[in-house]
Amino acid sequence: MRIVALVPGGIGDQILFFPTLDTLKRSYPDAEIDVVVEQRAKPAYRLSRSVSDVLTFDYKERNSPADWANLLGVIRDRYYTVALYTGQAWGIELLLWLTGIPTRIGYANSGGKSFLTVPVPYKTSQYQAETYHDLLQGLNLTLPTPALSISIPKSDLDWAEGEQKRLTVKGSGYVLIHDTAASPEAAYPSDRWQTIIQSFRQQQPDLPLVVAQTSADALWVATLVQAFPDLKVTKTADLGKLAAMIAGANLLLCTEGVSMQIAVALQVYTLALFGGSAAPTQVLPQSDKFAAIAATTGKLADIPPEQVLAKIWGG
């Protein structure tokens, strides 16, 4: 059995799709399962053991006929028996029809549902991981949606152990702060983070605070370090290392995004700030371990730090 899943979106979307992949692997342990994702999302599969191969296709770009033909050829050459599609673009569903894959599963509210062999109802109000998992109804799999789960490579766990020793937080635990915004303009303002950090210094002076720095947020981290020169900073070069540092944290403070989904998969206590259109109930499971604060204006910067601190110290 050969299965291909076409999953548009970023890394967070892929992690939310992991339960579907895990159920497929448990149900068909000998199957080869491939995914077709955007290049930016490929690093997510460093944290999954359920996938055989990761192919890339830019779903958002205006692809040329050659790009479409190449994807069609690659999928045809692999002789898949099942295709799952998590998006709702009729062009992709037409392409799947042209591949001749016998079982093509997608959502019934899509304009291209006539190209599918099994359209599945799309439930807009539920947790996204459950919505993805509903696609397995097309294979008569009605198992409950498993919790998010990831697999961190041992090399990354070893790196994190050394990093925790370097930061002198090994054994003591720490609060990890990570703003996952794609640009400084979209981030939670630095002065608000500084207010939060200052409150931790006053309320819990012995609890280490660690800021995670990736290649995209060096300026944001530099601003925080300028205000707090003794702030501990970990430079996580890839997703595996970020996951390993999240795994060791007592609490993750973050904006909605990749680190939040990793923390959910690791069952790490998390407080996430939401400023966009995503509703917390769609991307966070119900649990006492995961809390969210959503900006009423839709702008992350409009969340008062006092509201964040009230959530932290008030329980």
Domain ranges of the chain: 2-139, 154-314
Q: Walk across the sheet containing 53-56 and list its strands.
A: 53-56, 32-37, 2-6, 82-85, 103-107, 118-120
**Which of 254, 252, 255, 251 has its CA nearest to residue 300?**
255
Helices (H) and strands (E) in the chain, counts: 11, 12
Query: Is it the case that residue 276 has pLDDT exceeding 90?
Result: no
Mean pLDDT over 157-167 rounds to 96
- Find, among 24, 19, 23, the residue nearest to 4 by Cα: 24
Predicted pLDDT at 182:
61
Give the model confidence (pLDDT) of 137-151 as tens digits.
999 999 999 999 999
Confidence band (pLDDT; 50, 70, 90) for 183?
A: low
315 has pLDDT over 70: no
Residue 185, pLDDT > 80, answer: no
Q: Angle formed by the axes of helices 239-247 and 258-266, to 10°?
A: 50
- Work out the number of other CB atoms within 10 angstroms of the CB of residue 124: 8
pTM of the model: 0.94
pLDDT per position as a tens digit, 288-313? 999 999 998 889 999 999 999 999 99
pLDDT value, residue 283: 94
Amino acid 278: pLDDT? 76
Cα three-residue angle 138-257-204, rounded to 5 degrees: 135
Is pLDDT at 166 greater than 90 in this prediction? yes
**Which superfamily does 154-314 belong to?**
Glycogen Phosphorylase B; (3.40.50.2000)
User: What was the pLDDT predicted at 298?
Assistant: 85
154-314 shares the fold of 2-139: yes
pLDDT tier, 103 (very low <50, low <70, confident <90, very high otherwise): very high
Dihedral of CA 25/29/35/39: which sign?
positive
Q: Name the DSSP letter for residue 247.
A: H
Q: 49: closest CA among 29, 65, 66?
A: 29
Is pLDDT of 211 > 80?
A: yes
Q: Which of 296, 224, 220, 287 is nearest to 260 (CA)?
A: 287
Dihedral (CA of 71, 132, 146, 288) sign: positive
Residue 212's nearest CA partner among 243, 173, 170 is: 243
Phi/psi at 136 (5° precision): -70, -10
DSSP β-ladder status, 118-120 and 175-178: unpaired
- In 17-87, which ranges are E strands? 32-37, 53-56, 82-85
Question: What's the mean per-residue pLDDT of the chain?
Answer: 93
For 2-139, CATH gives: 3.40.50.2000
